[in-house]
Amino acid sequence: MVNIVHTLVDDDTLPDLDTRREIADLFRILGDPTRLGIVYACLAAPMAAGDIAARLEISASLASHHLRLLRAARLVRAERRGKNIYYTAADVHVIRVLLDMADHAAEPVAEDGP
């Protein structure tokens, strides 16, 4: 598996400091289980804030607070339909990162070899 990883990256893949800070901020924002759950809830189809709150069993005001942070981080986007606002994952990059991380978390822990 290590050889596959090395073919995906090269020596120029180290982002500059500002980019690393931005990436770290995105992971920090996603490090909250409620915010992570909100983004996962928005992967399959757009959802209204009230529906997100009900699905995660949190208050509407807490869902709105987290959605505001997730929008500012460009992890979700909002679309107004009449009186309602629906939220969805911002783009395919967000979807891929979350699905890849879920796959990674589900992998069995391997023993470190020699």
Would you kindly state where each structural domain of the chain is located, as residue ranges? 26-105
Residue 75: the pLDDT is: 97
Residue 89: the pLDDT is: 97
- pTM, rounded to two decimals: 0.84
Residue 78 has phi, psi (to 5 degrees) of: -115, 145
74-to-15, 25, 77 alpha-carbon distances in Å: 19, 11, 7
Of 93, 50, 59, 52, the closest CA to residue 75 belongs to: 93
Residue 30: the pLDDT is: 96
Residue 28: the pLDDT is: 97
Residue 84: the pLDDT is: 92
Of 25, 76, 26, 27, the closest CA to residue 52 belongs to: 76
Residue 107 has phi, psi (to 5 degrees) of: -65, 145
Question: Is beta strand 84-89 parallel, antiparallel or unpaired with respect to 47-48?
Answer: antiparallel
* Residues, the chain: 114
76-to-12, 17, 29, 56, 67 alpha-carbon distances in Å: 29, 24, 12, 16, 8
Rounded average pLDDT per 10-residue block, the chain, 114 residues: 57 87 96 97 95 97 97 97 95 96 92 64
Residue 101: the pLDDT is: 94
The architecture in CATH of the region 26-105 reads Orthogonal Bundle (1.10)
Residue 71: the pLDDT is: 98
Residue 110: the pLDDT is: 79
